[in-house]
Amino acid sequence: MEEDFPSLPEECWELIFNFLLHPRHTHHFESLSLVCKQFFSITNKLRTTLRISNLTIPAIPRIYSRFLNLKRIDLSHFNGLLDGLLLGIAQSGLDIESLDISNQKTIPVHDLMVFGSAMQNLRVLLCSKIKLLPDEHLVVIGKAFPNLEELDISYPTNVLGYHNFVEIEGEVTDSGFLALVQRLPRLCKVNLSGITFVTDKSLLALATGCMMLREIVICDCDFITRSGIAQALSQNPNLCSISANWIGMPSIRSDLIHWFDSLQNLTSLVLYDSNISDEVLNSVANSCLSLKKLVLSRCSNFSLSGILLLLYKNLPIEWFCLEAAEFLTDESVKELSEFLPMVKFINLSNCSNLTCSSLFILARNCPALTDIYMKNVNLKNEHYTTDFVNNQLMSLDLSENKNLCNEGLGKIASSFPNLELLKLNHCGGITEEGLGEVLSVCTKIRHLELNFCTGIKNIVMKFQLSAMEVLRLRRLVIEDSTLAMVGRRCPSLIHLDLLGCSKVTAEGVMEVVRNCRGLREINIWDCCEIGVSIVPLMVFSRPSLREIVQTNSLLSANLKNFFLSHGCVVYDDGSLWDLKGFSENSL
């Protein structure tokens, strides 16, 4: 390689690697780094994100010295003590801009102060679902990171409760949040969701004290009211995104009119489980906003007319969600599609009147569309023909459509041959014949979910599926022949979920382990035909494995540490694994 391209500068290789590799697939840098010393050096420079887990700890000093351009560190999957870890990062010489310490028991305040003094350019701090987050810790955050621009302190998991409406000790309250806001004038994005005891007072202080505020998320905040939102947001005309739920807006009021009129920069409006009305939607439309994202999920008391007027005034919408809008029909979807020329993502899940016709109407009339979510609608065996092919659609979620059958699925697959992500969870009417047709047409599928598809007894893959990386087959009654097929046809597989597949054995699992050289995560929890003896076989047969959720057996701490020393974390309980996907940024 070096002899063929002696004069090609590293900058050119960096451009090539970034062009070839999907931004979410940084794990492929590992393979490139093995080609030659030059590629090893280049890929080290290109990695900017690191997810630290218990697996990473033994190699931490080497990681910091190897990846000198790290900007984002994710500790949300680390379940040890943060104290020494934060100090190590502070002393590493790295210039970290984003830190995620979500899901921790508490925040080590002393170490956080040291970290803040060393990382002057930290702009993003994510600390969601912290078990103990009192007001005092918010004060420390404000002192440690005065230049913070994004903060997530959502859903602290303290034991919540009321005693004569008195705030429980240890909770975040207005007092702590006010002290925090006073120290963070540069805040642009804040997530306060799930913080029970903050009130309208905190929201007003945020709006008036942080004039650079652009985005705010306030879901499940019990003491923040509609009037408080209107008052606070009218004080900050720069706001461009708001997400909230349980907002009652059944009729228009002067405060709401003033709210929408004052938010001329609003581009994203996200409302969940709220009571709105056509009058409110008309007010939004008449405010001449340039909305790019509109989400009205599980909302009530509005109609198609209100939505049509809003879309007529907001053609730039790129992200559109009307989940559980009971008034939607195939005919109304056709009307909506005429006002969505730039939409890229649509979610019409739980709209029970929609059929396959709506799916094809959207795909035909919305040329920019790449993602469609139509879970739990009314996809069934209909006599329709499709005379078009949409090569743009990349992601399709049709989960929980119990009436979807092989014929309908075949027509869908033939219309969307370039699908990369397909979810068919809980689609009991699909059998291996229908799935085989999909896999014969959609050969670029990267992510496939078939969890709880009771009609699938086997999976036939007639062609090589070289792009397949994520395969989830929970509770299927497949046998070893299917796993042998997966091993032969899916050489790039990274993540395999076999939870509850009661008929597969160790022999079938080892077929996948031996043939899928990049396999990183596998779940065999509750596979009753597989014994614990398979774990060492997997670890030593496939060095790429990083996480295993093993069968219903317990391993000793010494044995777990032994596997950890060989680069693999082994879990005893399937419920402990998040299963959101492969560990993109873990090492």
- Express each pLDDT in 512-547 by its tens digit: 999 999 999 999 999 999 999 999 999 999 999 989
Query: Are residues 125 and 102 in contact, defined by beta-carbon separation less than 8 angstroms?
Result: no
Q: Which two tokens stand for residue 400?
A: 């929980």
Q: What is the mean pLDDT of the chain?
A: 88
Angle at the Cα of 468 from the Cα atoms of 466 and 472, rounded to 5 degrees: 155
Query: What are the φ and ψ backbone dihedral angles of 99, each rounded to 5 degrees?
Result: -130, 130
Residues in Cβ contact with 414 at an 8 Å cutoff, skipping those fewer than 6 apart: 386, 389, 441
pLDDT for 571 beyond 90? no
Query: Are residues 293 and 319 in contact, defined by beta-carbon separation less than 8 angstroms?
Result: yes
Closest CA to 322 of 309, 337, 307: 307
Count of alpha carbons within 13 angstroms of residue 382, beta-carbon side: 15
Residues pairing with 295 in the sheet: 270, 321
pLDDT for 495 beyond 50? yes
Scan for tokens 């990267």, then name that residue. 446
Confidence of residue 291 (pLDDT cuts 50, 70, 90): very high
Q: Compute the average pLDDT of residues 547-554.
A: 88
- Express each pLDDT in 452-487 by its tens digit: 999 999 998 988 999 999 999 999 999 999 999 999
User: 293-297 and 268-272 as β-strands: parallel, antiparallel, unpaired?
Assistant: parallel
User: Tell me, what DSSP letter sits at residue 168?
Assistant: P
Query: Are residues 499 and 514 in contact, defined by beta-carbon separation less than 8 angstroms?
Result: no
Query: Are residues 395 and 449 in contact, defined by beta-carbon separation less than 8 angstroms?
Result: no
**Angstrom distance (rounded) from CA 554 to CA 73:** 32
User: Tell me, what DSSP letter sits at residue 496?
Assistant: E
pTM of the model: 0.89
Which helix (H) or strand (E) segment holds residue 562: the answer is helix 557-565
pLDDT for 381 beyond 80? no
Q: Can you give the pLDDT at residue 572?
A: 81
CA dist 187 to 203, 216, 219, 271, 520, Å? 13, 10, 19, 22, 38
- Express each pLDDT in 81-91 by its tens digit: 888 899 999 99
For the chain, what percent of residues have pLDDT higher than 70? 88
Alpha helices in 366-479 (DSSP H): 406-415, 432-441
- Express each pLDDT in 211-250 by its tens digit: 999 999 999 999 998 888 888 888 888 899 999 998 766 5
Closest CA to 281 of 315, 318, 308, 254: 308
Angle at the Cα of 454 from the Cα atoms of 449 and 459, rounded to 5 degrees: 60
Rg (CA), the chain: 26
**Angstrom distance (rounded) from CA 135 to CA 175:** 7
Domains plus CATH for the chain?
Answer: 318-456 (3.80.10.10), 461-586 (3.80.10.10)
pLDDT for 197 beyond 60? yes
CA dist 63 to 68, 116, 459, 562, Å? 9, 21, 40, 21
pLDDT for 284 beyond 60? yes
